[in-house]
Structure formats: structure tokens, C-alpha cells
Amino acid sequence: MIIAAGESLIDMLPVDQGGKRFFLPVPGGSPYNVSMALGRLGVPVQFLCRLSEDPFGKLLARTLEGSRMDLSLCPRTPALTTLGFVLLDGLKCDPSYVFYTENTAGCALEPGDIPQRLAPEVHCLHFGSFSLAAEPIGSALEKLLSLKTAQVMVSLDPNIRPFLVRSREEFLPRLEHFLAAADLLKLSEEDLAWMHPGLSAKDCCRKYVAAGVGLVVVTCGAKGAVGMNACGTVEVPAERVSVADTVGAGDTFQAALLAWIRREHGLKAEVLRTLDVGELKDLLSFAAKAASITCSRAGCTPPWQHELNCAAATQPQIDADRHR
């Protein structure tokens, strides 16, 4: 069982129709997307976040339930749903975001909502995105992290939104706390540029592997992805696909990493350090394939396992522009 903890929100996705632009509400939020993708890939997963009682909150809950998700850790709240407006950069389909978070349900998780201990069947905790920089949810996630035992893997995708980090100096100690606990770390090029300006993807991987992270992956958009552990380094190209947009592609990539590791070896932190380069290549290629399917659809609509099985037999078309 995996617990994915962090924000949920409604992404307002731009749609052009009749010469006018509209915004279509679709479920989103990085940890939410990871949860949805894991459920669709057949991985037992619980999502941990407060959900609003408003119509958007009910849409978020229905979507997760339809993706075979366990919502027993999702307290309901009268606070309104968190909103994120997605802005696409022309033909590149490259998303930027504006979030409305103040006093909203997606950031309202409190330390008191966290269970006193993890259930025996929980073998992985996944954290990430702007939840780490917001309150009270950031403090709640720190409490959840404190429940980790030696048998529990920690997965982390910082997915940093700089304009939501009100104080870099205050945020970095918390981020470093999560980085120090991480067994699986995925960064995007944007994360890398914010955290370590001027550092290359490979040097970043070396830095965190040397610090004790079992497996580090940096996604590099159309250039593919780099993965490194104590056994070696692997680079894989981006999959080729006709791109609708890249919303949620990085979250799908993260979920696919976890799903492959669970399927092949079980969710054991020590396994990450011992994957050979052949296995690393298979792992990253599987994640890139899953992310490419999400890129082919508007909004974050991760693939089901049977779609990945079918996709393995088809030929790609056009470069996916970015795995974010």
C-alpha cells in the first residue's frame, strides 16, 4: 500500500471554441494525480488530503473512486476547493500555472488529521509539490513523515512552484528534511534550476546518490530522463506522441516509477540501490511510456495498465515536448 499525501485542486484547463477561450474544470494537484495514476496502474493506494464538500470537491472524490482509490484518509471540509488555472504556451503545449490556495480545502490538512501510526500494509509514503510550502498542510506532511519506519520507502517529487514559496529561506529547511528522508527522488529540470542553479542533471543525481538517496531521476522534457543509483547511470529518450498538453505528465512518470518497482521487486528501499543498468533502463522507459500517454490527452488523464500493454505494441508519432 502507498499513501500519497498532498494537495488536491481543480485545474481550470483552457479550451478554445468558436474563437473564444473557456476554462474547463478538471481534477488535479500533483499528489492527487500521482494517486490517480497509481490506482489506474493497479497499485493499492490511499490519498491523504482534505476534500471540500462543494461540487468541485465531490468531482475530485468521484474521479479518484473511479480510478480505484481508497479515500478513507480524506477528511471532508466546508472550505472551498483549491483552484489552479493552466496557461498553455502556444504550439509547445508548455503549461504554466496560477493557483488560488488561501484558506482552501486542498491546503487545509492539519497535523491532527494524520493517523497516530502507519498501518502494517503501508510500505511507501509519497510527498511532493507546493503542499510542502503551504500551511497547515506542510506541517501535517512533516508529521506524516515522522511516522516512517525502516520498512517504509519515501518517494519525493518537489515539483516546486516558485511563486508559492513565500520565503526561500524558510522553505529550504523543510525541503531538505524531506530530501534527507527520500529513497526515491524525482526532479524536473525546473526543480533543478530552482534548487541548484547551474547544476547539470547528472551532477544533481551524483549529489543526491552520494547523500544516500537510493534512486534519483531527473526528467528533461523532450530530451528524455536521466536516472542514477549506486550501480550506474541510465539515460532514456522521451517517447514520441502527438501532444495535447503536458499537464500531469511528470506525476504520471512518478506513479509509473513506483508501479514498476512494486511489480518487479516490491516496495523496498534497499532495492533502489541495487537495480542494475538494464533494470534502470526498463524502469525509466516504462515511466516515459506512461507519461507520453498522458501527454496525448488534455489535462491529467493517466493511462490504465491495459493501455500501457497495448501501447507497447504501437509505433510513436511526434516528440512529447516536456515531462513536467
For residue 20, name the pLDDT band (cuts at 50, 70, 90): confident
Q: How high is the pLDDT of residue 191?
A: 93
Phi, psi (degrees; rounded to nearest 5) at 305: -60, -40
CATH match of 2-311 with 3.40.1190.20: yes
Residue 191 C-alpha cell reads as 526543480
Which 3 state secondary structure label does DSSP give 94? coil
Q: What is the pLDDT of residues 209-234, one digit of tens each?
A: 999 999 999 998 878 899 999 999 99
Does the pLDDT of residue 137 top 90, yes or no? yes
| Percent with pLDDT over 90 in the chain | 67
For residue 22, pLDDT over 60 is answered with yes
In this prediction, residue 233 carries a pLDDT of 95
DSSP 304: P
- How far is the C-alpha of 205 from the C-alpha of 96, rounded, in Å? 26
Spatial distance between the Cα atoms of 202 and 127, rounded to a whole number of angstroms: 23
> Per-residue pLDDT for 314 more than 60?
no
* Residue 316 scores a pLDDT above 50: no
* Domain residue extents for the chain: 2-311
Q: Which residues are catalytic?
A: 251
Cell reading at 170: 524558510
- Residue 20 pairs in a beta bridge with 17
pLDDT of residue 245: 67
Average pLDDT of every residue of the chain:
88
Instruction: For residue 301, name the pLDDT band (cuts at 50, 70, 90).
Output: confident
- 322, pLDDT greater than 70: no
Least confident range from 25-29, 93-97, 205-209, 284-288: namely: 93-97
Give the residue from 69, 73, 18 showing the smallest Cα distance to 39.
69
Provide the pLDDT for residue 324. Answer: 41
- Flag the least confident range among 25-29, 129-133, 284-288, 297-301: 297-301
Dihedral Cα 221, 238, 36, 40, nearest 10 deg: 180
* Burial class of residue 223 (count of CB atoms within 10 Å of its CB; 0-12, 13-18, 19+): middle
Across residues 56-67, what is the average pLDDT?
94
At residue 90 the predicted structure's pLDDT band, cuts being 50, 70 and 90, is: low
Residues 155-207 have pLDDT tens digits of 999 999 888 888 888 899 999 999 999 999 999 999 999 999 999 999 999 99
Percent of the chain with pLDDT over 70: 92
Report whether pLDDT(151) > 80.
yes
Q: Is the pLDDT of residue 62 over 90?
A: yes
In this prediction, residue 318 carries a pLDDT of: 36
Does position 270 have pLDDT exceeding 70, yes or no? yes
